[in-house]
Amino acid sequence: MLSPSPKNPVELKITHLNKVQNQRQEHLVEATQGKAALKSFKKQLTKKTKQSLKQKLKSNAKKGNKTSQVFVLDFDGDMKATAVKHLRDEISTLISTANKGDEVVLRLESSGGLVYSYGLAAAQLARLKDAGLKLTVCVDKVAASGGYMMACVADRILAAPFAVIGSIGVVSQLPNFHKWLKNHDVDYELFTAGDYKRTVTMFGENDDSDRAKYQEELEQTHLLFKDFVNRYRGMLDLDKVATGEHWYGEDALHLNLIDAIQTSDSYLLELMADHDVYALQSRQKPTLAEKLGLSQAAETGIELAINKLPELMRKVEITQRLFK
């Protein structure tokens, strides 16, 4: 969100992954080969970095472009796609700062959730492409249902060999307590205006017309899902893949659900050979109480008090009996 609450400020952490990788390499060389080898390694690394930079500048000068950069985002999705709260801020920052032709790599993990939540998340990714940025989605574990809705927006989708991909379908389920309420002589009344303001309910008696209308709504949602996927991945055979099934990486590749088998780690290492790669991570800025651990301490105190409440009540009851 462009206007976060002043009570809950968001901070953005930026990590230069090239530097992190170099530091790890240096640490390993020193630990396994000694300081003399480390000194030699640093010289080679500096020389290689200068050559790589010169080559990039020369290549981009011919094309009339600026040196392209790579930005890495992470999305760990839950049922409500709550991670979109930070994703939208990160994307807004990139759109207003990055150059056309820069690449954004999204490390995505989600098994889906609410339609409107993941619809918003997918729309945020579409903003990157509208701004002229290249988008690559990497799936190491799972991108299914709403997760795949997000992934399909990308220019390229990379997945690990056993990543779960697909599930272009819609599901809805709910319990019905009508018989239980009836057996306990409990009436349930529902008032609506509009024939279809409510169809199936958890507490009322559902009839065939209610179920038919609800199924019609699910089918309409599925149609919108398929149209969205087709807009970004027109090469898919939707009759074959939009069945609600999911596939592992290799099979997903044969069905054109993804573009290549590769882990995010492997891909980022490739990019670091020729590009500066930066990871962006936004988070809610901790309050002073959270920094000092007071918030957690207060929660622990409340929890202990709740746990001891039955024992205290029992002691009070015993005391009352003694004084009667």
5 annotated active-site:
no
Nearest partner of 108 among 139, 84, 136, judged by Cα: 139
Residue 247 to residue 225: CA distance in whole angstroms: 18
Closest CA to 80 of 112, 55, 50, 104: 112
Q: What's the rounded Cα separation, in Å, for the pair 72 and 166?
A: 23
Instruction: Give the distance, in angstroms, between the CA of residue 63 and the centroid of all CA atoms in the same chain.
Output: 35
CA–CA dist 47, 163 (Å, integer): 38
Tokens (6 digits) for 184: 């306990």
Rounded CA separation 54/93 (Å): 28
Q: Is 197 a catalytic residue?
A: yes
Considering 68, 110, 117, 145, which one is annotated as catalytic? 145
- What are the CA-CA distances from residue 34 to residues 22, 26, 43, 196, 215 (Å)? 16, 10, 15, 75, 68
Catalytic residues: 145, 197
